[in-house]
Amino acid sequence: MGRLLVVLVLLAVSLYVVKLIKIKLDEPTPKLKKDSSRNESAENNTMVKCLHCGLHIPENEAIKQGDKVFCSLEHAGREI
């Protein structure tokens, strides 16, 4: 009778630990939350088109020369 009780207790504890591990693995990590917030801010940014190649990039990452917009310094240098 005592062995049966020990086996049942060990089984219950094991199931509880497995459940805790599963819950922990299903939670999103803080890093993923941070990345998703960064993506949201990028989505709110206006997209502009490179004058040289036509690539669309966020306005805050664009290279600007007067009223012209480029995706890189290389493309900006080719238009000078």
**Cβ contacts of residue 73 below 8 Å, gap of 6+?**
63
Give residue 78's pLDDT: 76
- Taking the C-alpha atoms of residue 56 and residue 71, their distance in angstroms, rounded to an integer, is 8
The answer to whether residues 57 and 48 touch, using CB atoms and an 8 Å cutoff, is yes
Structure tokens given for 1: 């009778």
Q: 0.85 cut: is pTM over it?
A: no
Quick: pLDDT tens for 52-75: 999 999 999 999 998 999 999 999
Quick: pLDDT tens for 35-48: 555 555 545 678 99
